Chains A and B, each alone.
Chain A
Amino acid sequence: MNCEWLVRLDGYVDGELSPEKRAQYEQHLRDCPSCASTALSRLQMKRGIRAAAAGRYRPSAELRFRVARMTSPRPRASFPWLPQFSLAVAALVLVMVAAALWLARSRPADFASELLDLHVSTLASANPVDVLSSDRHTVKPWFEGRLPFAFILPNLQEAPFRLIGGRLTYVQQAPGAQLLFGLGKHQISVFIFQQSVRQLRSSTETRELGFTIDTWTQDGLRYAAVGDTEPAQIRALRQLFQAAHSNKP
């Protein structure tokens, strides 16, 4: 049983022998039933381990999303000056937002409250959406002809969010789209309007009654995301929209 050839069995099973050594080994296996049976069982074991361990644990979509965002070319790595720059930008934005807030006074707050009301009443409604589908290729065409503009719906495959559906809505007498997304048990509305709807120019994030309202502009449209999740998740949803826009063919 204690055949000297057993020492090289691992190398044989793992394909680490040179072609000549391998041929010699196979010749030996033909001559030695004991080694042949052990080799067979080792090969089975190797295969069994692979089958038992492969894909045993799967990463969550959320982790993939986080890691993909970290490794995507946008992050700092190649911009060592970015920290100072972003600090300056942040300061500038702060000044601008303060000035705009001062100029616009209550207007953005009214706008935010209106969106918040719309969001809450949608959730309370028995039929929250006019078009119920998790398929963006169903939801987006539904709005065609109902709205005087077109928008881009991001691909959510790698993201933790799921599309629930959409509905027509009105803010300040202007028609817009309201898209409903799910994240765990939370729901987030994304509103899309033409820019003529009056409110702040720059992106803002406001909080009201535990809700986060994040607004931004892209492609000549006003967007606003409203939900009761962590503000970071609302921002992540916004980034998906912004990324979808910049990836547009």
Chain B
Amino acid sequence: MKLPSRSVALPEAEASPEPSVETGDAGSFEALAMPLFAPLYNFAHWLTQNREEAEDLVQEAYAKALKGFASFSPGTNFRAWMYRIVRNTFLSSRSGLRAAATVPLDEEGNEEAALLALSETPESLLLARADQEMIRVALEQLPLPFREIILLCDLEEMSYREIATSLQLPLGTVMSRLSRARAAMRELLQRELRRTSHEL
């Protein structure tokens, strides 16, 4: 079993090997970063599940990004870069460390497991009845690595490649974790739906 590498380092060593030229003027940073403010805050709050922590996280991440902007190579994905900083900042915080430690991820040698995750009972009927509130609760209960990948994919509508950059994971792991995360999400919802239908 190999844990996915989860570096909490700052993005200095980002993507492009060529030395970035003097691009780091604050004006262009503002123009790139401020439109992401509301979605990044939403994402941060989903990660921390706490307003105060989310506020500190966003502020700290923006400060780090501003500082490290000179190392951002233009042409690469700025959005993924920002999400990555938010997430790494969160993971290096105390509650982030705790959240990341909640689930063991055995993602290697997962072919059968991934297939198993795909074969469940007729889900369409049951899941069609899941309402927004139920989905919200399920998302909140999802372990952090699953929650964040689902948010990046379904909410932020990032491509697998962008997700790989944001989460610093190989593309293959992105796909297998996403599949697993969705299976976990469906399981939570089905459990919840069965419970409520019993109560009726």
- Interface-located stretch among B71-79, B101-109, B114-122, B192-200: B114-122
Task: Name the residue on A nearest B179 (C-beta).
Answer: A10
A56 to B38, CA, bound (A): 10
A53–B136 contact, CB under 8 A?
A: yes
Q: Would you give the 0/1 interface string for B19-30, flagging 1 where the beta carbon is closer than 8 Å to chain A?
A: 000001111011
**Which of B10-18, B59-67, B86-94 lies at the interface?**
B59-67
A170 to B103, CA, bound (A): 67
Interface flags, A27-48, vs B, CB<8A=1, else 0: 0000000000110111011101
Contact B46 A53 (CB under 8 A): yes
Q: Kindly identify which residue among B26, B130, B157 contacts A48, using a CB–CB cutoff of 8 Å.
A: B130
With A37-B122, A71-B26, A71-B33 already in contact, the answer to whether A53 and B179 are too (CB < 8 A) is: no
Give chain B nearest CB distance to A54 CB in angstroms. Answer: 6
Q: How far is the CA of A70 from the CA of B135 in the complex (A)?
A: 35
Q: Is the CB of A78 within 8 A of B26?
A: yes
A interface bracket (residues with beta carbon within 8 Å of B): 35 or more
Residues on the A chain within 8 Å of B62, using CB: 67, 70-71
Q: Are the C-beta atoms of B59 and A71 separated by less than 8 Å?
A: no
Q: Which of A178-215 contact B (CB under 8 A)?
A: none
Q: Complex Cα distance A64/B41, Å? A: 10
Instruction: Point out the residues of chain A lying under 8 angstroms from B185, CB to CB.
Output: 45, 49
Q: Mark B34-46, 1 if CB is under 8 A from A, else 0.
A: 1001100110011
A86: interface (CB < 8 Å): no
| B169 in the interface (beta carbon within 8 A) | no
Minimum Cβ distance to chain A for residue B12 (Å): 16
| Segment of A1-9, A98-106, A228-236, A238-246 engaged in the interface with chain B | A1-9
Complex CA–CA separation, A37 to B123 (angstroms): 9
Asked if B159 and A53 sit within 8 Å, CB to CB, the answer is no
Interface centre among B46, B62, B114, B124 (most CB of A within 10 A): B124
Q: Bound state CA distance, A194 and B63, in angstroms?
A: 39
Question: B100 to chain A: closest CB distance in Å?
Answer: 20
Q: Mark A44-87, 1 if CB is under 8 A from B, else 0.
A: 11101111111111111001101110111111011000000000
Chain B residue at smallest Cβ distance from A14? B153
Task: Please tell me if B113 contacts chain A, counting CB pairs below 8 Å.
Answer: no
Measured in the bound complex, the distance between the Cα atoms of B155 and A59 in whole Å is 17
Q: Are B37 and A59 in contact (CB under 8 A)?
A: yes
- Most chain B beta-carbon contacts within 10 A, residue among A9, A42, A51, A67: A67
- Looking at the assembled complex, report how far the CB atom of B68 sits from the nearest CB atom of chain A, in whole angstroms: 11
B119 engages A73 (CB within 8 Å): no
Q: How far is the CA of A74 from the CA of B30 in the complex (A)?
A: 11
Q: How far is the CA of A78 from the CA of B139 in the complex (A)?
A: 41
Given contacts A55-B42, A56-B46, A77-B66, contact A16 B159 (CB under 8 A): yes
Q: Are A63 and B136 in contact (CB under 8 A)?
A: no
Query: Can you give 22 contacting A-B residue pairs, CB < 8 Å?
Result: A10-B175, A41-B124, A41-B128, A44-B127, A49-B135, A50-B155, A52-B133, A53-B136, A53-B155, A55-B42, A56-B42, A58-B42, A59-B41, A63-B41, A63-B55, A66-B59, A71-B29, A71-B34, A74-B26, A75-B26, A77-B24, A77-B66
- Chain B residues close to A by CB (< 8 Å): 24-27, 29-30, 33-34, 37-38, 41-42, 45-46, 51, 54-55, 58-59, 62-63, 66-67, 69, 114-115, 118-119, 122-124, 127-128, 130, 132-133, 135-136, 139, 150-151, 153-155, 157, 159-160, 175, 178-179, 182, 185-186
- Given A55-B42, A63-B58, 7 more pairs with CB closer than 8 A: A6-B119, A38-B123, A54-B155, A58-B38, A67-B34, A71-B26, A71-B30
